[in-house]
Amino acid sequence: MAGVLGWPVDHSLSPPMQNAAIKELGLDWVYVALSVAPRNLGAAIEGVRALGIAGLNITIPHKIAVMEYLDEIDDDARVIGAVNTVRVDGARLIGSNTDAYGFTATVMAEGEMMFPDATVLILGAGGVARAMAAGAAAEGARKVILANRTRSKAEEIAQDFDSIYPSTRFEVVQASAPSLAHAAQRSGLIANATSLGMRPEDPMPIEAESIEPHHVVFDTVYAPPETELLKAARRRGAVCVGGLGMLARQGARALAAWSGLEPDEDLMLSVLRKSVAESG
């Protein structure tokens, strides 16, 4: 058994995706959604040890809080400051973070972009932005530009990562139109790590005029599957990459950690796309 633990979690697309991959691997497992209120998180994690669960995905709002209940946290998760995957190793619970891999693998596979020597503009400064910045730096990005309305949050990421990734320069800009336009001119990849785009009335995280044909534009928002940002990027001639690939690939990396087997990422992505189409 495996599952995704969050609050709320009924809307999660992970169960159909993971169950399809589990079946294809021939595992006698089931993957379920586990809705756990924050006040019950400690008790839920302790119960994992007794229930024979192979592993968990951790989602909002538990990615940071869960860390205090684990026996070990791997280097990637410690750098990012959040855990989205828990592996059970005997009686030990080991936390990791597969979001950075999900991001970089998706950009490379679907955007046909390589990170070495690239300049990456990341919009946002939350947990997903931290994972994306860490992933880009680990893959060899020359510069990561962080843009956020609350500048101090972006500065915190830059300060945290400066010494960890000495080969990558971290720059912070204000999330205002002129600053974003200048940052975009110097970037090959524009990556939205904010929630802007989930609702029809949301403004775009960057003005369409800042997007050029040489850009790869990535959006973590996957519902709707083509956000206003990606629509604008497509009209401007840029390469567009949606967020479903990141969800599929981070989930595949988690399943591989639990099972020791390599799941079919393409199958998982196909199931996700079908789920989104049926729900929309």
Taking the CA atoms of residue 118, residue 236, residue 200 and residue 38 in that order, the dihedral angle to the nearest 10 degrees is: -10
Q: Cα torsion for 263, 264, 270, 275, to the nearest 10°?
A: -10
Both tokens of 56, joined, read: 């968990």
User: What is the C-alpha separation between 258 and 252, in angstroms, rounded?
Assistant: 10
Write down the catalytic residue from 63, 143, 231, 274: 63
Cα 211 from Cα 192, distance rounded (Å):
13
- Are 271 and 16 in contact by the 8 Å Cβ rule? The answer is yes
Cα separation, 206 vs 177, whole angstroms: 7
> Is residue 274 flagged as an active site residue?
no
Enzyme catalytic residues? 63
